[in-house]
Amino acid sequence: MRINENQLISDLLYSLGQSRQAVDALQAQISSGKLVNKPSDDPVLMQRLMLLQDQVNQNSMFQQNAGYAVNFLSSQSSALDQSVQVLTQIKGLILSAANDQNSADQSTYASRLDESINQLLDLANTKFGDRYVFGGRQTTNQPFLMKPDRTGVVVNPNGIDGVLQVDIGYQIKAQYNVTGAEAFSNGQIFSDLIAIRDKMKSGTAPSSGDIQTIDNYLNQLISTNAKAGSMINRFQLIQQQLSSESDSLKSTISTLGDTDIAAAVIQLQQKQIALNAALQTGAGIIQLSLANFLK
């Protein structure tokens, strides 16, 4: 076959272009650290990586949900802890009052009890952020409201027994609150304490029945707190599971989609050597012409 200069040069340019393209592709893989830099690099892998990434994103959202639930429950739990302390103090107060035969002292006990009721009420109206934690789903309305004349506590008429839920998986929900209805017996605890206070104010010492009532509420608070605690444990466990799932997803993404730098660098060097050789020989060959030797 006849080979002329133009053919030589266009062939040389074509193969140099091919070499440069290969070097460019490897360089992109190395500098971005990713095998797929545009969808057409590997459409199948790209789609797979996107699906995995979606899972990671969802997973991190579920982790965030679980984290929020843990925080919310912790604030409930610490309010319940304190409520237990306050109620224990109240019990001590009532016990002393019951044992005090001097009816004149009862009104002093009554006013101390009134302060403790206030403390307990504050705890029952605890907020996490802007949300009343014991308001059920009525998080924007104060669940327990002391009447101005302090003769009783009004419970939010819309109900405080609503269950709060978050997603912890695709279409998997979990409850993350204990309600004011269960922790504070739907406000009955305040009515009973106020009745005891009023009785003491009028000079009557508390009865053993009153002590029993308080014990019952104490047990109710403790068991509700235990329920909150076990929910915290559950969400922490879910967080750990989600996090290890996320780790394994991420490592799959990395295995599939990240450039093997060592391999890529070696390949790049091979391509560079080829390109270098093509440039060197090309530069030599295109200079050869019969014209150089004719005198």
Partner 1 sequence: MSGISSILDIAKTALSASQAELDTTSHNIANANTDGYTRQRVMAQAIQPIQTTYGYLGSGVDVKAVERVRDAFVDEQTRNLNSDLSKSTIYQQAMTQVESIFNETAGNGLSTQLTALFNAFQTLSQTPEDMGVRQTVMQTGVQVATSFNMLNSKLKNLQYQVGLQVSDEVRKINEQAATIAKLNSQILANATAFKDAPDLKDQMDSAIDQLSKMINVKVTVDANGITNISAGGTVLVAAGTAYALSVSHTSNGITVTPYDSNESLTLTSGELYGLLDVYNSKISQYSSRLDEIANALVQTLNSFHSTGYTLSIGGAPSETGKTFFQGNTAGSIQISPDILASLNNIAASSNGDPGSGDNASAIANVLNAPVMSDGTSIIKAYEGLIGQVGLDSQNANSNMNMLQVAYNQMNTFRQSISGVSIDEELSNMIQYQHSFEAAAKVVSTVDQMYQSIINMV
Chain contacts with partner 1 (rule: CB under 8 A): 1-7, 10-11, 14, 34, 36-44, 46-47, 50-51, 54, 57-58, 61-62, 64-65, 68-69, 129-131, 135-141, 158, 162, 164-167, 170-171, 173, 289-291, 294
Q: What are phi and psi of 166, to 5 degrees?
A: -130, 160
Comparing CB distances to partner 1, the nearer of 14 and 223 is 14
Comparing CB distances to partner 1, the nearer of 152 and 159 is 159
Comparing CB distances to partner 1, the nearer of 106 and 142 is 142
Comparing CB distances to partner 1, the nearer of 44 and 262 is 44
We find the least distance from the C-beta atom of residue 276 to partner 1, in angstroms, to be 23
We find the least distance from the C-beta atom of residue 258 to partner 1, in angstroms, to be 13
Comparing CB distances to partner 1, the nearer of 68 and 218 is 68
Q: How far apart are CA 198 and CA 107, in angstroms?
A: 9
By C-alpha distance, which of 205, 191, 199 is closest to 147? 191
Q: Using an 8 Å Cβ cutoff, are 144 and 187 in contact?
A: yes
We find the least distance from the C-beta atom of residue 283 to partner 1, in angstroms, to be 18
E strands, the chain, are 127-128, 131-132, 144-146, 153-155, 165-169, 172-175
Comparing CB distances to partner 1, the nearer of 180 and 206 is 180
We find the least distance from the C-beta atom of residue 25 to partner 1, in angstroms, to be 12
The helix or strand, by DSSP H or E, that contains position 108, with its residue range, turns out to be helix 106-124
Q: How far apart are CA 244 and CA 248, in angstroms?
A: 6
Comparing CB distances to partner 1, the nearer of 197 and 234 is 234
Distance in angstroms between the alpha carbons of the first and the last residue of the chain: 28
We find the least distance from the C-beta atom of residue 97 to partner 1, in angstroms, to be 39
Q: What is the dihedral of CA 271, 274, 280, 281, to 10 degrees?
A: -150
Q: How far apart are CA 190 and CA 64, in angstroms?
A: 36
Q: How far apart are CA 75 and CA 69, in angstroms?
A: 10
We find the least distance from the C-beta atom of residue 143 to partner 1, in angstroms, to be 11
Contacting residues for 10 by C-beta, under 8 A, at least 6 apart: none
Comparing CB distances to partner 1, the nearer of 62 and 184 is 62
Q: Using an 8 Å Cβ cutoff, are 196 and 210 in contact?
A: yes
We find the least distance from the C-beta atom of residue 197 to partner 1, in angstroms, to be 31
Q: Using an 8 Å Cβ cutoff, are 285 and 4 in contact?
A: no
We find the least distance from the C-beta atom of residue 122 to partner 1, in angstroms, to be 20
